Structure 1
Amino acid sequence: MGRAEERRARQRGARRAASKGRRSPRAEGRTGIRRFLTWRKLLGTFLGFCLLCIGAFIVLYMVIDIPEGNAVAQEQSNVYQYSDGTLLTRSGEINREIVDLARVPKDVQRTFVAAENKTFYEDSGVDLKGTARGLLNTLSGKGTQGGSTITQQYVKNYYLTQEQTVTRKLKELVISLKVDREKSKDDILAGYINTSFYGRNAYGIQAAAQAYYRVDADQLTVEQGAYLAALLQAPSQYDWAAASETGKKLVQERWNYVLDNMVGEGWLDASARQGMTFPVPKEPQGTPGLEGQTGYLVDAANEELAGQLVAQGSAEDTDDALAMVKRGGWTITLSIDKKKQDELEKAAEDQLISKLDPDERDVDANIQPGAVSVDPKTGEVVAMYGGADYVEHYRNNATRRDYQPASTFKPVILAAAVEEKSQTQDGDPITADTVYDGDSKRPVEDGGQEVGFAPPNEDDVDYGDVTVQTAMNKSINSVFAQMGVDVGMDKVMEVAALLGMDTDGMEAVPAQTLGSMGASPLEMAGIYATLDNHGKKVTPTILASVEHKDTVVELPDPIGEQVISREAADTVTSVLTGVVDDGTARTSVRENPERDGQQVAGKTGTSDYGRSAWFTGYTPALVTSVGLFGEDAGSGDQVDMKGATGTLPGTGRVNGGGIPAQIWAQYTFGAMGKVTEFDLDTDQGAGVAPTWTPTPTQEPTQEPTTQEPTTEAPVETPTEEPTTQEPTTTEEPTEEPTTEEPPSETPTSGPPTSTSPQPPTTPEDPWQQE
């Protein structure tokens, strides 16, 4: 090897050694995990994780759908109002009434946006930073704090639950994005303010407006709206009535924050803001419950609404319709006039309830009153009395149909006779002056043949020949039993249906002339209202208006077509004035000092065994039916009311001319605004052709205590000659509780037996129905 080659070899070895010396420190620094984590690898890993999250979110977005609103968020109360719009009550466990956003002033809407989510109108429905912070807080166990948009809060309230879990927060994020895409901002804001909880058991802005300021949502001011918006952060802590000094300070600070944000967003003028003062809320006020008459009114309104929902095809049957009503969200304005309602309640209290004493008389626990008052010109139920107290007696006595209306059915028979231009068996036209044999138990005939029906009169009294007017005044069963057959019982029941009686399943038999079917005060008030309205059909309604966000309800006109002629209706009215002036209702009604000349028509009724007693009467402007029912307080069975408070002295018997007529008179004469007269298109009956006014010279001081009436009738002297074919009576005391009107002669037979479909009479219950 030459020198040149040797030198080159040494140089190559030196370079290799130098190279090894330079690599040594760097090589030592790349040992362990750092040899694998380069910036390129970290960036790649991060990007991969992001792609994985995006992929997972896409999967979640595709998998998670917008669910149905949860049941609790959809629950609402129903709002029931008197006819003047004042609150009657709310019903339902959730005090919520959903209102359209249009009913909330625009400035009030913006208070919620200013308080919770100033970017609401521009954002996509989610706050990623706030949601991420909430997720981290939840994962780390630091609590539930974390920001969210109005959309997210609405989703949490309406679609999800209040639980704080990662799963729920992820669902909230996805659903909020979808809701923001599918719903308008106005829909989301409306959902938010209608589902939020404001304290004081108020869900939704309408309930909150009432709870804190006793106004509807559409009457809220900006200041009040800012307070309600501030409340949502901490309803219990910020309720002014219960807040500590710190709480009051905090809510005022948040109230200022809301208004300042509105100024900052250009939604509120700065000068107007300066003039605003904190609107101190009103003290909490309990929502009226269902005690007293409230529950009866609510039930009656619900039942009528349910019937209308079925009729218009919104529900399959009554049960389905009632379920719709009870789901809530209805604003129901009743036709009930608060003043008249108070008058009716007071009359029942004064004349009956205050006098009942079950400790003194066991039977007093069995007395159930019911009443309905109707405006005959509109068909509106202006007052209703369902019982002493809804929470103690659930069943509504004003609408129940399980008691006999008794002699209050007799005007229907006369209406059918006049309408059909019927004749007696002898071929005489039936008018108010037509003469009938009024003897008790006289067999009813048809074409000369007995039909197997011979009803007794009350106390088995024989009256002899009497006019139809007298028969109505004295409520003589034998006359109207024969008249029913003269008209034809099928025609009688047909007219009853036209006037408003539910005759489904009723047989057209002579026994029905005694009013042996079932009927309610509401039903009888409708029948008499049709008579009062000159034969034009009146269907009583307790609904004035109905509103619901999702269901439109069109209420039918309560005034229908002409169902019987005006002459027939007015003739009955004319005859029924005699019942008040010269008949079974005169003591309670005619002689009432509050009457003040008011014209009145009406009819009493007392069923077999004293199980029900009625007075249904009317003036030109008001029809009211009052019933008294015997119901065993324990079993609910029908029982007689013998011996109850207010029954006839010496006999213990009830009758329609007693307490029912007394309640009617106090209510009617108190509720009437002015004295009115009937406009009658007829030339017959006491209302247009009074025969004479009896002037009694002797009054009975005590009622008979035996089955037989007294044998000596009081002497009365007529003041003028009768002007009709047959005088209404020749003898009439001022009070006759045993027969509702004394006989004109001594009865000729012994105690009667009942022929209506009831158990046989017993010695303890010897009287018949009137």
Structure 2
Amino acid sequence: MSERPSGGAPKPTVPPAPTQAPKPVPNQAPRSSQAPAPKPAQAPTPNRAPAPPAKPAAAATPPRVPKPTPGAAPAASAAGGPVPPAGGPSAGNASALDALNAAVAKNAAAGGASPDAATRAMPAAKPAAKPAATAQATTEAASAAAAAGPAASDGKSAKGAKDGKGKGKAKRTRPKRTGWRRLVPTWRMVLGAFLLIVLLIGGALVTGYLLVDIPKANAAATAQSNVYLYSDGSVLARQGKVNRENIKLSQVPKNVQRAVLAAEDRDFYSESAVNPAAMLRAAWNTATGKGKQSGSTITQQYVKNYYLDQDQTVTRKAREFFIAIKLDNEVSKDDILEGYLNTSYFGRNAYGIQAAAQEYYGKDVEKLTTAEGAYLATLLNAPSAYDVVAHPQSKKAATARWAYVMDGMVKEGWLDSAEREKAKFPTPGKLRPQSGMSGQRGYLVEAVQDYLISSGVIDEQTLARGGYRITTTIDKKRQTAFVDAVQGQLLSKLSKDRKVDRYVRAGGASIDPKTGKVVALYGGVDYTKQFVNNATRRDYQVGSTFKPFVFTSASQNGSTTQDGVRITPNTVYDGTSQRPVVGWSGGRYAPENEDHANYGPVTVTKATDKSVNSVYAQMAVDVGPEKVKETAIELGLPEKTPDLNPYPSIALGTATASVLDMTEAYATLANHGKSGGHILVTKITKDGSELQLPDRDPSRQAVPRSAADATTSILRSVVESPGGTGYNAKAAGRPAAGKTGTAEEDKAAWFAGFTPDLATVVAVMGQDSNTGAQKPLYGATGLPRINGGGYPAQIWAAYTADALKGKPAKEFDLEMEGGPAVPEIPPATTTTEPTDEPSTAPPTTEAPPTTEAPTTPPTTEPTLIPPTLPTQLPTFTPPTLPPTGGTGGPGGPGGTGTEEPGDPGTDPTLF
């Protein structure tokens, strides 16, 4: 039992310490290594008072531990025993406290074991009899004992133990950052910097929003005219007066609106005015070379079109950003979409969807079908490139984009899938002529625009806004000479009574070899009547005008025949018709010569004069078709020229390069292999400021001079030899070189030639004005056939003589390893000697008779030069090549030869 001392705190009953226990030394911590091992459990000693019986909670008087005397260490304190809180425990926990005190005393007697040991020795209290308050007090007492034990044992006291209350812990000191760690920002610094950046960006956005006002419509809303000048500064044409008709959004069919959204901004009605994520993505894709993208919403595009300009500057982009946000808060989405549809450029000088509907389909916007609306939406991405009438070769890309728009409408739930399946690509109507673009002006303006846009000088929409003064390379006198030559040599011979004469078209181009300037261009009879530019279109085979490129490649690469003989103008080949080429692993290929002519052993020069197919097909294999293709590109043909494929047939002109492309290539030969590319513009200004034009190096050696000059030497024989297929070109009265060519079924006839100071190419083509389909020219002008040595060579001679009138004639300055020889050649063993003007009528069918694989039928092409000459290029289809969809004869494997209306010249022909 315990008594209450005078101090007021109950004194707990503690058994006396054993007499043998050593006294603790003040200020010295006990050494755990010397602590005696704990004794086995014994029965309680007689001196130990038994635990008082449990009493009711109301009568419980908890014992108190007296406060320690300064300088003394009571047993309970020394052992780290718990100090019960004032007020004592309840009766239900008295036994637990007695047990705790006993354990503390035992621990002290054992040499100062840890408080944890004493705690573990305490019998577990019964949770059922332990109120929450008492349990908390007990836990606090145990914790206090654990904290006080070590301090008492070593004679030291932590803060809070000195005053006997145990309130607090020792203050931790943060270690100093040393070395490189001092340079690493702490998380507080990083967080602070981030918050600062956020505040600055937020402040900038707020400031920009407050400072930028919505301006009035820009001056470009009323576009100016563009002025095109001849090389002498006189006016060639004026183009302007923007075609625009504003309408209300309610006039636009809902599906047409949705087609525009599917093409440009599918989340327009749900998103904000700007899309930062899309802008960042577009910037990233552009920077990483994945394609240039705008990342602009419809709202931003409308702001650019109506309020700002097309300048690609940071300032303009920032203004666009803030104006779009402010505009989105002030006007409705419908108003923005209406403005966008009225200001967007659709090509053909049409601003706004109403003008576009009229230009492409000849109807008001209210009457547009879903498919037609989707096509107009397609044009927004690239107006010029996706106009399938002006650029037939782009139909595949335009159709793919149209399908993307239609499928997008289905994906968004705006179009029924069944209706999508029924939809067909809506080919637009013909180009409607613009005022002031009649005659050759429209063709010239179109060619100049294509040159500026493709060269990256200016984009189509900016150019269409007007205000530019453009000085071209077109020589007014030579342009007139070209028109006169075509009129006098060809058009004057056409008759309205002959149906085939309605198909006749002509195209031409002329380049100064030294400067690369295009001095004249003939696109057609009249831009307001025939809108396709025959000088720049790429859909007619070039025929045998390609053969010189094969020889140039052979000379450039030092190629040899299958027998190891170096290929030169004097190299002898087997000119037998239908002789299979040797060394080609793609399958049997045996092209036929014109009119089944067999020439036997023949030199390269003679084979060029006679345009012997079997020789040049073998030469292409000897050189390597891939190398031939590379040489053609180096000379000036675009890399993406249609049907420029590395097969033996490449030698026979299956590629469909434009007249202008071929003129550049022949100009390179005329300039001894040097070329910096052709140019059509020498200066472009707006408001007194001059735009930068593409850099050009006219001294660039595209092919070795020896190769170019060797080619020129054999081409001179074509013109100057009485037996050459281009002998009619000699009428120019100047030293000249050239080559004739004829496309499949006489659908086109070519002559490409040059003097030392002028390169010119002329092509006569057949095309149905109503359907756009290519047509054979059998019987045109009353002649059985049209070939390259006829009207094309005659036009070339007339133009060249007029264009160079008054200038002294120049001789070719050739440097080569060897020139053309005139060896004794065995006479050609022909089964039928071809004639120039056969007395028999032309075939009753437009297509030549069919033959069985591996060769196709001869075309029996006559020429318009002396009758002893074998004729021009026959046509055939090598069995090793995939079909190209061209025209086959009756019962043959060819295609139908028909095309969709309004898409002229897109059907490639067989070879």
Query: Aligning the two structures, in what range does the TM-score lie when normalised by the shorter sequence?
Result: 0.5 to 0.7
Partner of 2:729: 589
Partner of 2:771: 635
* Paired residue type of 2:450: E
Taking structure 1 as reference, are residues 530 and 699 closer, same or farther at Cα in structure 2, changes over 3 Å only?
closer
Match of 1:666 among 795, 798, 811: 798
Q: How big is the shift at 1:512?
A: 1.4
CA contact (8 A) 2:728 2:794 kept: yes
Match of 2:818 among 684, 688, 698: 684
* Paired residue type of 2:647: V
CA contact (8 A) 2:507 2:523 kept: yes
Superposed, 1:133-532 pairs within 5 Å as: 289-308=436-455, 310=456, 321-357=459-495, 359-446=496-583, 451-504=587-640, 506-532=644-670
Q: How big is the shift at 1:365?
A: 0.8
Other structure's SS at 1:682 match: coil
Name stretches of at least 5 consecutive residues in structure 1 with no aligned partner.
Answer: 1-61, 96-157, 160-286, 315-320, 709-731, 743-750
1:82 aligns with 2:230: yes
Name stretches of at least 5 consecutive residues in structure 2 with no aligned partner.
Answer: 1-209, 244-305, 308-433, 826-832, 844-862, 895-908
Distance 1:753 1:663 in 2: 28
Distance 1:64 1:482 in 2: 71
Q: How big is the shift at 1:538?
A: 4.1
Taking only aligned residues, the RMSD between alpha carbons, in angstroms, comes to: 3.5
Partner of 1:675: 809
CA contact (8 A) 2:768 2:774 kept: yes
- Structure 1 length-normalised TM: 0.56
CA contact (8 A) 1:699 1:735 kept: no
CA contact (8 A) 1:541 1:558 kept: no
CA contact (8 A) 1:620 1:676 kept: yes
Which of 86-95 and 431-440 deviates more?
Answer: 86-95
Taking structure 1 as reference, are residues 94 and 753 closer, same or farther at Cα in structure 2, changes over 3 Å only?
closer
Taking structure 1 as reference, are residues 621 and 551 closer, same or farther at Cα in structure 2, changes over 3 Å only?
closer
1:572 aligns with 2:711: yes
Partner of 1:703: 838
CA contact (8 A) 1:376 1:538 kept: no
Q: How big is the shift at 1:629?
A: 1.1
Distance 2:769 2:693 in 1: 40
Partner of 2:786: 654
Question: Percentage identity across aligned positions?
Answer: 42
Describe the superposition over 1:439-465 as per-residue Cα deviations: whole angstroms up to 9, x where unpaired. 111101107x78421111111211111
Partner of 1:101: none
CA contact (8 A) 1:352 1:646 kept: no
Taking structure 1 as reference, are residues 64 and 607 closer, same or farther at Cα in structure 2, changes over 3 Å only?
closer
* Paired residue type of 1:81: L
* Paired residue type of 2:754: Y
Taking structure 1 as reference, are residues 434 and 701 closer, same or farther at Cα in structure 2, changes over 3 Å only?
closer
Taking structure 1 as reference, are residues 559 and 680 closer, same or farther at Cα in structure 2, changes over 3 Å only?
same
Distance 1:466 1:701 in 2: 22
Taking structure 1 as reference, are residues 392 and 90 closer, same or farther at Cα in structure 2, changes over 3 Å only?
same
CA contact (8 A) 2:790 2:864 kept: no
* Paired residue type of 2:448: A
Other structure's SS at 2:685 match: strand
Describe the superposition over 1:156-185 as per-residue Cα deviations: whole angstroms up to 9, x where unpaired. xx99xxxxxxxxxxxxxxxxxxxxxxxxxx
Taking structure 1 as reference, are residues 63 and 465 closer, same or farther at Cα in structure 2, changes over 3 Å only?
closer
Other structure's SS at 2:708 match: helix
Distance 1:533 1:566 in 2: 9
Distance 1:754 1:78 in 2: 47
Distance 1:507 1:295 in 2: 33
CA contact (8 A) 2:744 2:875 kept: no
Distance 2:814 2:538 in 1: 31
Distance 2:551 2:841 in 1: 33
* Paired residue type of 2:474: I
Distance 2:787 2:823 in 1: 26
1:735 aligns with 2:866: yes
* Paired residue type of 1:638: Q
Q: How big is the shift at 1:555?
A: 2.9
- Structure 2 length-normalised TM: 0.48
Q: How big is the shift at 1:584?
A: 3.8
Q: How many residues align?
A: 464
Partner of 1:759: 887
Distance 1:402 1:753 in 2: 18
Bigger relative contact order, structure 1 or 2, given CA contacts below 8 A and separation 6+? 1
Other structure's SS at 1:452 match: coil
Taking structure 1 as reference, are residues 741 and 507 closer, same or farther at Cα in structure 2, changes over 3 Å only?
closer
* Paired residue type of 2:591: P
Distance 1:576 1:491 in 2: 21
Distance 2:768 2:869 in 1: 24
* Paired residue type of 2:568: T
Describe the superposition over 1:545-596 as per-residue Cα deviations: whole angstroms up to 9, x where unpaired. 1112367232322625212110000000011000001244444122x2x51x
Which of 415-424 and 504-513 deviates more?
Answer: 504-513
Distance 2:576 2:842 in 1: 18
Other structure's SS at 2:840 match: coil
CA contact (8 A) 2:836 2:864 kept: no
* Paired residue type of 2:633: A
* Paired residue type of 1:355: K
Distance 1:363 1:736 in 2: 25
* Paired residue type of 1:675: A
Distance 1:617 1:509 in 2: 25
Q: How big is the shift at 1:705?
A: 2.7
Q: How big is the shift at 1:761?
A: 3.5
Q: How big is the shift at 1:632?
A: 1.2
Partner of 2:741: 605
Q: How big is the shift at 1:699?
A: 13
Distance 1:699 1:512 in 2: 25
* Paired residue type of 1:292: G
Other structure's SS at 2:679 match: coil
* Paired residue type of 2:509: V
Other structure's SS at 2:631 match: helix
Match of 1:534 among 651, 665, 672: 672
Structure ID, larger Rg: 2
Match of 2:683 among 535, 545, 549: 545
Distance 2:438 2:588 in 1: 50
CA contact (8 A) 2:718 2:727 kept: no
Distance 1:399 1:752 in 2: 24
Q: How big is the shift at 1:534?
A: 0.7
Partner of 1:555: 694
Q: How big is the shift at 1:669?
A: 1.0
Distance 2:240 2:836 in 1: 55
